[in-house]
Amino acid sequence: MRTKKHVSGFVSILGRPNAGKSTLLNALLGTKVAIVAPRPQTTRNAIQGVLTLPAAQVVFVDTPGIHKSTTKLNKRMMDSVRASAAADVVLFLVDATARPSDEDADALDLVKKLDAPVIAVLNKVDKISPKQKVLEVITRYQELHDFATFVPISALTGDGLDTLKQEIISRLPLGPAMYPKDYLTDQPERFLAAEMIREQVLKLTREEVPHAVAVMIEKFEDTPKLVRISATIYVERQGQKTIVIGAGGSMLKRVGTEARKQIEEMLGKKVFLETFVKVQPNWREDPEFLQATDWRTTSGV
């Protein structure tokens, strides 16, 4: 029942690459809407995930990690961070196990410009022992900015998430739900399918390959019994293509099998997935290519 006390608003999740922003979004929603990988710069587009509760609707915005932009792709990623930063409440997500670095200052600069309350969320406390060390991290960040509050969490185990939800909801303005209650994310299924394929490549490859991978869906045919999907995995060099295909096609097969399972779970339907690998030299500097892989600017993901 919607009472007068209903609150709603936007909550952006900002922080350094690999801090666990996408893991946190999935944990808050209890459903996977964002891909996660143990590599920095996994998320490339700002995406929404909507949490609908009886007395609150929270539109979380997961963003790419704050980093120094070098390529056109990186610049686009940082543009999307800045465009999503303004919100009713901001979560500044910190990997509490990471050493402070120069890029922390850039991340803080961005946050300091915002008018909204900023909650410092200290993530990965499951890896911190003894727990007192969390206090040291809090003290360090207290000196850097006037945060609204500090909430230690583990996005992986779910520790601290109820407290975090309460801290967010108590700061949201009164207002009705903005989306229907079953609305989960703004990403089209085609884009999510492309992301699930990219996630597997990120998980299974290392060094420069993850950064050089982009996925485009060429065909997405929804039939009553089966969804037929054709996807192209783009890399920048021949050597990377050899790695993604693997000996006798073994790597590509693993990527395809794992991604297909995830896509089937998302769609609740059988999927036939075929994948191709192509070399597209320097695509990270190619505005047309970047536009084509961003569903906000084109329908052809």
Which residues of the chain form contacts with Mg ion (CB under 5 A)?
21-22, 42-43
Residue 86: CB atoms within 10 A of its CB come to: 14
The smaller minimum CB distance to ligand GTP, of residues 64 and 256, is found at 64
Q: In what order do the strands lie in the sheet with 214-222?
A: 214-222, 226-235, 270-279
> Shortest approach of Mg ion to residue 23 CB, angstroms?
8
Among ligand GTP, Mg ion, none, the one that 126 touches (CB under a kind-dependent 5 to 8 A) is ligand GTP
> Shortest approach of ligand GTP to residue 184 CB, angstroms?
18
> Shortest approach of ligand GTP to residue 222 CB, angstroms?
29
> Shortest approach of ligand GTP to residue 5 CB, angstroms?
31
The smaller minimum CB distance to ligand GTP, of residues 14 and 233, is found at 14
Residue 14, CB-side half-sphere exposure with 13 Å CA sphere: 35
Which residues are CB-neighbours of 10 under 8 A, at least 6 positions away?
59, 61, 87, 88, 89
Which residues are CB-neighbours of 127 under 8 A, at least 6 positions away?
97
Among Mg ion, ligand GTP, none, the one that 246 touches (CB under a kind-dependent 5 to 8 A) is none
Give the residues lining the site for ligand GTP (CB under 6 A): 17-23, 36-38, 40-43, 64-65, 123-124, 126-127, 154-156
The smaller minimum CB distance to ligand GTP, of residues 56 and 110, is found at 110
Among ligand GTP, Mg ion, none, the one that 127 touches (CB under a kind-dependent 5 to 8 A) is ligand GTP
Distance between CA 231 and CA 220 in Å, rounded? Answer: 9
The smaller minimum CB distance to Mg ion, of residues 8 and 23, is found at 23
Among ligand GTP, Mg ion, none, the one that 80 touches (CB under a kind-dependent 5 to 8 A) is none
β-strands 270-279, 226-235: how paired? parallel
At 268, list the tokens.
């609740």
> Shortest approach of Mg ion to residue 34 CB, angstroms?
6
The smaller minimum CB distance to ligand GTP, of residues 160 and 256, is found at 160
What does each C-alpha distance from 164 to 11, 197, 273 come to in angstroms?
Answer: 12, 31, 38
> Shortest approach of Mg ion to residue 64 CB, angstroms?
7
Across the strands, what pairs with 228? 221, 272
E-only strand ranges, the chain: 7-15, 47-53, 56-62, 89-95, 118-123, 149-152, 214-222, 226-235, 270-279
